[in-house]
Amino acid sequence: MKIRAAISRSGEAAPVIEEAELGPPRSDEILVRIVAAGICHTDVRAHRGGAVPTPHPVVLGHEGAGVVEAAGSGVMHLKAGDHVVLSGSSCGTCPSCRENYPSYCREVIPRSFGGSRMDGSSALSQGGAPLHGHFFGQSSFATYAIADARGAVRVSKEIPLEIAAPLGCGVLTGAGAVLYTFGLKAGQSLVVFGSGSVGLSAIMAARLAGAQQVIAVDPLPQRRALALELGATAALDAASENLVDAIRAVLPGGADFALNTTIVPQVYEASLRVLGMRGVAAFVSAPREPFTTSLQTLLHGGRSLRGLIGGDAAPQVAIPMLLYFWQQGRFPMDRLITSFEFSAIGAAFEALHHARVIKPVLRMGAP
Task: Tell whether residue 105 is a contact of Zn ion (CB under 5 A).
Answer: yes
Neighbours of 344 (CB within 10 A): 17
CA distance 349 to 41: 9
Residues near 241 by Cβ (< 8 Å), separated by ≥ 6?
Answer: none
**Per-residue DSSP letter, 192:** E
Minimum distance from CB of 86 to Zn ion (Å)? Answer: 12
Minimum distance from CB of 88 to Zn ion (Å)? Answer: 9
Minimum distance from CB of 113 to Zn ion (Å)? Answer: 12
Phi/psi for 299 (5° steps) reads: -65, -55
Chain positions 281 to 300 lying near Zn ion, rule: CB under 5 A, are: none
For Zn ion, the closer CB: 198 or 211: 198
Minimum distance from CB of 137 to Zn ion (Å)? Answer: 12
Residues near 358 by Cβ (< 8 Å), separated by ≥ 6?
Answer: 196, 197, 200, 223, 226, 336, 337, 338
Q: Pick from 287, 309, 332: which is nearest to 180 by CA?
A: 309
Question: For the window 16-55, what string marks contact with Zn ion as x by the rule CB under 5 A?
Answer: ------------------------x-x-------------
Minimum distance from CB of 292 to Zn ion (Å)? Answer: 28
Q: Out of 3, 16, 70, 94, which residue is the one contacting Zn ion (CB under 5 A)?
A: 94
Q: Out of 169, 177, 179, 258, which residue is the one contacting Zn ion (CB under 5 A)?
A: 169
Q: Out of 44, 91, 220, 351, which residue is the one contacting Zn ion (CB under 5 A)?
A: 91
| Helix H or strand E segment including 256 | strand 255-260
Minimum distance from CB of 98 to Zn ion (Å)? Answer: 8
21 burial level (CB within 10 Å; 0-12, 13-18, 19+)? middle
For Zn ion, the closer CB: 42 or 201: 42
| Contact residues for Zn ion, defined by CB under 5 A | 40, 42, 90-91, 94, 97, 105, 169
